[in-house]
Chain A
Amino acid sequence: MNTTVVDTGTDEKTWGGGNKPLNASYGKLMMWFFITSDALTFSGFLASYGFSRFKFADIWPIADNVFTHVPFIHGNYPMIFVAFMTFILIMSSVTMVLAVDAGHKMDKSRTTIYMFLTVIGGLIFLSSQAYEWTTFIKGEYGAVGTHSGNIIQFVDTDGNRVALKDFAVAEEKQRVVHESKSGLWFIKEGTLPTYTVEEVIAGFEANQNLLVKTTYIDEATGHKTILSRNESLKELKTKGKNVVEGANLIQNEYGPPLFANYFFFITGFHGFHVSIGVLLNIIIFFNVILGTYERRGSYEMVEKVGLYWHFVDLVWVFVFTFFYLV
């Protein structure tokens, strides 16, 4: 660096140039500035998520009722899988900082191993997120959407969720998915739900033990309100408009559309950061193997990419809190 700074002969003066008040290299400083600005981007997203949550405070879904899946295991296990994801990311942060530490000691082989482990950790996290998205999009129980865009879910008398496929009465249907080749070529239609509202209502009437679970939180218990049988029938018949299965950007079976939108956008943006991080880590990994930093005499590049990788972990800590805990 010093070669690029013109020596003014005023080295003893603070503003004379040549001194480094922050005691950090240009690259590291720029990485910190990027991290600060990226932190503001993410906090903008999370704060707007908070805005919508405060706006729809009474109908926002409870995370424990939404994220309940664990791969290869059936049943209701809230929190377990996200806790695993968090641990994976913290763990890969640890291997990253160990790589930085080994880099400081100019230990090429240990840096290589730790960079490799960091990449593996990142890949495990990304596949976990893919699983999380898949189950979220697929949905489990299905629900009925109301005219106002709200959601009606179904439970049995014990309060356990009941899937539409377990009670809806299938009727003969004429309606098929519209395809541009068989009708109006300029109109498209997405996949039709498995059942129509009429079929759901018929099934609901036939099963006396079914009740409606609204999206409204009961202040006293902290759970969603479950209506009585008569109220349930009335709610379903007067408000029910369409069948919702799983989640997309327009509607989802968990709650307000914004809930899924924020979920896709914020975890997606974070996942994008992780992907970039994995890519950078792979580049650094190969550079370490090739001996680039050995020849350069400094492993600072590992440290700079490490800063980014830790930042991604840092963001996840907040996403974890605001999507899954609070």
Chain B
Amino acid sequence: MADTHAHKLEIFRGLIKFKSNTQKIWGVLIFLSIVTAIEVVLGIYKPEILMGHLMGMKILNWIFIILTIVKAYYITWDFMHMRDEVAALRRMVVWTGVFLICYLVFILLQEGGYVGSVLTNGFVKSDF
């Protein structure tokens, strides 16, 4: 257990370095709250400038997804102490998940878009 006492205390690649683990926890909380606040404000006001499409999705939605992954990163790395684990454990958990999830999401969204286009463009009446 003694080895887990050593926490890595810097976030943002060393831009901010905390004095203690407790301080880091509060720092990460503030950061996560700010990110959530940005999401909520964007979600309520939906700025017109972000409504354009980029790679099949609204720019706003891309921003939401990226901010979500940022939040997920800090929850995993600092709250779940992934930052302090050895690289092998980190990779075993993260890469497995990332690879399988990306694969599944790609297949299902691709297929969903196709089925949707059949419904709207095909010769089947779906609204009556």
Contacts and interface: CB of A to CB of B under 8 A. Distances in A.
Bind each other:
yes
Interface of A: 21-24, 29, 32-33, 35-36, 39-40, 43-44, 47-48, 50-58, 64, 78-80, 83, 86-87, 90-91, 93-94, 96-98, 100-101, 104, 146-148, 150, 222, 239, 298, 300, 303, 306-307, 310-311, 313-314, 317-318, 320-321, 324-326
B112 to A, nearest CB: 3
A91 B36 CA distance: 12
25 contacts: A22-B85, A22-B89, A22-B92, A24-B85, A39-B101, A43-B97, A47-B104, A51-B109, A52-B112, A56-B119, A57-B113, A57-B116, A90-B33, A91-B29, A100-B81, A104-B1, A146-B127, A147-B128, A317-B68, A317-B75, A318-B72, A321-B65, A321-B68, A325-B43, A326-B65
Q: Is the interface of A mostly helix, strand, loop or mixed?
A: helix
Given A40-B100, A47-B105, A48-B108, A35 B4 contact: no
Contacts of A90: 29, 32-33, 36
Contacts of B32: 90
Interface in B82-113: 85-86, 88-89, 92-93, 96-97, 100-101, 104-105, 108-109, 111-113
Interface string B57-88: 00001001101100110011011110001101
Identify the interface centre among B79, B109, B115, B128: most chain A CB within 10 Å of its CB: B79
A104 B75 contact: no
B75 A93 contact: yes
A326 B64 contact: yes
Interface of B: 1, 3-5, 21-22, 25-26, 29, 32-33, 36-37, 39-40, 43-44, 46, 51, 61, 64-65, 67-68, 71-72, 75-76, 78-81, 85-86, 88-89, 92-93, 96-97, 100-101, 104-105, 108-109, 111-113, 115-116, 119-120, 125-128
B109 A54 contact: yes
A314 B39 CA distance: 16
Identify the interface centre among A29, A48, A96, A314: most chain B CB within 10 Å of its CB: A314
B25 A318 contact: no
A54 B116 contact: yes
Nearest to A48: B108
Given A314-B76, A317-B68, A324-B43, A40 B97 contact: yes
Identify the interface centre among A21, A48, A317: most chain B CB within 10 Å of its CB: A317
B76 to A, nearest CB: 7
Contact of B79 (A50, A78, A93, A325): A93
Contact of B43 (A23, A51, A64, A93): A64
A104 B105 contact: no
A23 B100 contact: no
A71 to B, nearest CB: 17
Given A39-B97, A146-B128, A53 B112 contact: yes
A125 B78 CA distance: 22
Contacts of A50: 105, 108-109, 112
A265 to B, nearest CB: 16
Listed from nearest, the 3 A-B pairs whose CB atoms lie closest are A54-B112, A51-B112, A51-B108
A172 to B, nearest CB: 30
Given A90-B36, A307-B80, A326-B65, A54 B113 contact: yes
Given A48-B108, A50-B112, A97 B25 contact: yes
B72 A40 contact: no
A49 B52 CA distance: 23
